[in-house]
Structure 1
């Protein structure tokens, strides 16, 4: 092999290495913070025998709200979440409400809460074992995670969120 061939091989390998670094660097890691790819889930739904899966809403901007029935801020913010769903659903915004069942006192209280607020009008999931709570590193209730159409977390809000704040985030990202 002559020097010219060796040089071409080295240049080719270097180009391949640079391309690999660029491609692998652009792939987002799955995680729970803004900029991470949102962990997927498939969970039972309230009022349905079907499951709610994040991957089913890949073309939507997703507002994922995690709640428990005893949580007063969860109760206060729920009307705003339902209003966001009504006002932005036709624009490709999906509100998914998710009961953190492992945080509940009783399943009956969670079911009564879901019925009281008619949560079946939006996708409504039940995290029975706390798997989603773990994947999203849930520390506070409520927590709202806003996920873009590519599955990347835009915002993670621990604590009560207002209609105006959700609307601002949505308007910046639709």
Structure 2
């Protein structure tokens, strides 16, 4: 199945929060330890701009109103202007839509679209034991740029983080 995406709207925020919270509870792809609320994510959503840091929501072709995942182009590191040529990608998928090609479709389109945002480099951090995400990013040309040993503690389980990235161009 091929997924599609569109820019997120305010009406999508509850679905985005639900998807993110499924990752929080799974302890597989975020360091938040408690579920977030729509209110607590409103400022994050409002800071996202279509010009620099858009949020896309994924959906199946027959149901564009049903959010099945999302991708956000986040400011890199601390968001200082010198880092504007780099975007930190975040991809989260609804549990029922993992392993079905949605991550592949979102990531492929993000790589192609990044130059239109003025982005020359894409990067992200992934738990070292999250083989599915590592495989996804490697299959799209991301390389390991570093490993941060033991930097995450999720309820007493220590995790290494793998830092991956890749350059992009108008011919990516």
TM, length-normalised to structure 2: 0.28
Larger Rg: 1
Higher helix share: 1
Higher strand share: 2
